[in-house]
């Protein structure tokens, strides 16, 4: 007999680490944008596993790929070649214009690889004293010790000191601050094209071009953390396309597996050659099951017609969110974001509005205190967006009745 939501939560509270603030909701089934809880209530999911389920929940083509590959080969480790890993590497390097790929199990691991690669590259060229990596305040790069050390949020460091040394934080989008920080000790600059956990923050025009110029001037590597933005989320194959730059190292996750654990680190030949045999590896990274799924997902996302549809739906979504801002100017401060990584910035806490939306059957998450973040499956349609936006107006009026 299936468990109820109450039973699932009680069992989890007894046996799971209490390290996550979960919403009081137990999901048991999904299809496309729709998910159902243990009692059968339907929700439209605009979180998508935090920008992960690019094709929604349980896409039939993905189930088919996993089933077929599971009957051939699951895991062989990196001691041997396998066909899916080299095919996916070829697809991603060709699409990105980078030269080499390494596969891991998560975005955090992909960023760990990037950090190690940058430091080893600098060590090989300049010796041991050039190891500083500049990242941005308000950034998020993962929860492992290396990735959290690179994350520019002091609250996430609390209790875990000492952090991995050598990271320096500057305000995102501030070229002058970066120029003051970058020096002969700097081996890399590591940035998100859009700060997702930081509240869906985009940089000012021309920022990344100046960052790239500073990196080249100081012979530092430019690392783009595209765990959230990579593979279609911004309406381009990779977010760096929006800024007319090309990173030396690029990290991917989330959409590459659409919920199946996978991460990737792409790099130029110059940067990649730093990681020689024995310097870095992972037991499960590049397993045939994950790679076979990644191949099919990447092919579909990289299709120009698919990306054009993401851009079209994004324009519609931005328009509808802008309508909400116009209708409730006292409550809504700003609409921001890129592609289908969007935010409604409120003048009041966003958490209660997120709770009200959940009660109405819509899943969105609140981040950076006053931000409602929308990262739906890339297959979201205009009707689903209209339903959400009508519910947002209702939720705003319920939570903040004086804001009309």
Is 140 marked active-site?
yes
Tell me how far apart the alpha carbons of residues 2 and 282 are, in angstroms, rounded to a whole number: 37
**225 classed as catalytic:** yes
Q: Are 137 and 131 in contact (CB under 8 A)?
A: no
Catalytic site residue from 55, 132, 167, 225: 225
Count CB atoms within 10 A of the CB of residue 75. Answer: 12
Mark whether 174 is an active-site residue. no
Asked whether 242 and 233 are in contact (CB, 8 A), the reply is no
Q: How far is it, in rounded angstroms, from Cα 180 to Cα 175?
A: 9
- Report cis status (omega within 30 of 0) of the bond before 209: no
Q: Residue 47: left (phi > 0), alpha (psi -120 to 50), or beta?
A: alpha
Which distant-in-sequence residues (6+ apart) come within 8 Å of 34 by Cβ?
42, 43, 44, 45, 56, 57
> With contact defined as beta carbons under 8 Å apart, do 66 and 291 qualify?
no
Please give the Cα distance from 285 to 290 (Å, whole number): 8
Nearest alpha-carbon partner for 25 in 34, 38, 44 = 38
List the catalytic residue out of 254, 317, 362, 374.
254
Q: Which of 55, 140, 172, 240 is catalytic?
A: 140
Coil vs helix vs strand at 42: strand
Rounded to whole angstroms, the Cα distance separating 402 from 399 reads 9
Q: Mutual orientation of helices 288-301 and 60-70 as an angle, nearest 10°? A: 150
Cis peptide before 319 (omega within 30 of 0): no
Residues noted as catalytic: 140, 225, 254
């Amino acid at each position: 007999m299936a468990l109820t939501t109450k039973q699932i939560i009680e069992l989890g509270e007894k046996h799971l680490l209490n390290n996550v603030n979960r919403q009081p909701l137990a999901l048991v089934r999904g299809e496309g944008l729709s998910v159902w809880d243990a009692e059968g209530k339907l929700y439209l999911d605009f979180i998508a596993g935090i920008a992960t389920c690019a094709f929604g929940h349980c896409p039939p083509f993905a189930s088919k790929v996993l089933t077929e590959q599971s009957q051939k080969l699951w895991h062989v480790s990196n001691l041997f070649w396998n066909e899916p890993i080299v095919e996916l590497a070829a697809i991603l390097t060709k699409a990105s214009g980078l030269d080499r790929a390494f596969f891991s199990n998560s975005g955090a691991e992909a960023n760990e690889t990037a950090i190690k690669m940058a430091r080893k590259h600098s060590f090989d060229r300049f010796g041991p004293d050039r190891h500083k990596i500049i990242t941005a305040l308000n950034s998020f790069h993962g929860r492992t010790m290396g990735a959290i050390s690179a994350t520019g949020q002091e609250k996430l460091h609390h209790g875990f000191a000492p952090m991995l040394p050598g990271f320096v934080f500057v305000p995102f989008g501030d070229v002058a601050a970066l120029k003051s920080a970058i020096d002969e000790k700097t081996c890399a600059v590591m940035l998100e094209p859009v700060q997702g956990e930081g509240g869906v923050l985009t940089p000012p025009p021309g920022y990344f071009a100046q960052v790239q110029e500073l990196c080249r001037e100081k012979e530092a590597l430019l690392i783009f953390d595209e765990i959230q933005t990579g593979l279609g989320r911004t309406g381009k194959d990779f977010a760096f396309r929006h800024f007319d730059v090309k990173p030396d190292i690029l990290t991917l996750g989330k959409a590459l597996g659409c919920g199946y654990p996978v991460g990737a680190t792409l790099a130029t030949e110059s940067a990649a050659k730093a990681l020689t045999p024995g310097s870095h590896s992972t037991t499960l990274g590049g397993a045939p099951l994950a790679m076979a799924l990644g191949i099919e997902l990447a092919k579909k996302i990289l299709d120009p017609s698919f990306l054009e549809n993401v851009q079209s739906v994004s324009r519609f979504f931005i328009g509808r969110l802008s309508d909400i801002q116009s209708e409730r100017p006292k409550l809504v401060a700003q609409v921001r974001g890129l592609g289908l990584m969007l935010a409604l910035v409120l003048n009041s806490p966003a958490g209660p509005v997120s709770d009200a939306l959940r009660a109405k059957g819509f899943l969105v998450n609140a981040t950076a205190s006053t931000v409602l973040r929308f990262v739906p499956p890339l297959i979201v349609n205009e009707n689903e967006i209209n339903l959400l936006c009508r519910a947002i107006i209702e939720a705003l009026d319920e939570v903040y009745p004086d804001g009309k």
